[in-house]
A and B are shown apart, each in its own frame.
Chain A
């Protein structure tokens, strides 16, 4: 091949390449979402020194260790509180929370709903593989009914969360769902949230061939991608109450919510200036340059 030696992968500058190959299994979709995120960041032409990635615990928590940005791998479920603190201490930062369904909605469920309620200006990317993958494939809050997991050998009988409906009900400004099959749409969505102010939530369905698909006889990563291709239907603007996921049913994808609400810092500023008048002086941010 006549590949010119100076051509490098466009996402390479955003990765800690000395840590590659990463720990994610063959066929896992987390790498694809990181790829899309890196491309969205490059396209947005943001100053990468002002972007921070915060992640929780789990397979997708590893993202913080692989991106060459300011990043923080936090304790289990607490990615959003750390990110909120980061954003409030240094509002000029673009804070992205990158985590999984178990971390964000089970252990960190309370943090998620309250950050969405306050409309803190952070962007949450939830890689949803439908189970707790890193700990061995136990039933998680997003596991669909009848799916077989390590803790539900006869099939899961708990109702699952509809993450998009939860985010909308809690007050998120932007709610979208894509799968790892929809790389272009996902990249576009990530670009949109990087430009938007307020609490933004993107759910990305991702294969877990090692623990979810294997137990449920759904094949490997590639089979899951074909399954996503076959079953997904773009339903932009659909009411989030109608987009719940089932094990084998249709996967509604698209941008469901995009609305304007005053974000947390704006609300605080507005209320305090109204009440205190001239006495309200904003402190200069000691960490901002």
Chain B
């Protein structure tokens, strides 16, 4: 059972792959599909390993990805939205 999840904004991504490389549990891989600017955005390949640590979100230079913990998301409507 995954403890977390990631949300990806495909259109903002520039395919730098920082999130793919530095994900501690290797949840992500670069997708073979292109976004409208021609970049390969990441996609989730091992969701069950995601801990929701949000390290991908901290590394992302394009604010295109972030991780969140399922427990926190269930407890409140929008985690850290303020």
Contact = CB atoms under 8 A, between A and B. Distances in A.
Report whether chain A binds chain B: yes
B62 A31 contact: yes
Interface size class of B (residues with CB under 8 A): 20 to 34
Interface residues of A, number: 39
Given A7-B7, A7-B73, A225-B18, A28 B80 contact: no
A26 B39 contact: yes
A2 B5 contact: yes
Interface in A171-223: 180, 183-184, 187, 220-222
A31 B78 contact: no
Given A32-B60, A221-B18, A225-B21, A6 B77 contact: yes
Interface string A239-282: 00000000000000000000000000000000000000000000
B73 A30 contact: no
B7 A13 contact: no
A233 interface: no
A20 B15 CA distance: 15
A46 interface: no
Interface of A: 1-4, 6-13, 15, 20-22, 24-32, 34-36, 39, 42, 180, 183-184, 187, 220-222, 225-226
B58 A222 contact: no
Given A35-B58, A36-B58, A42-B80, A9 B14 contact: no
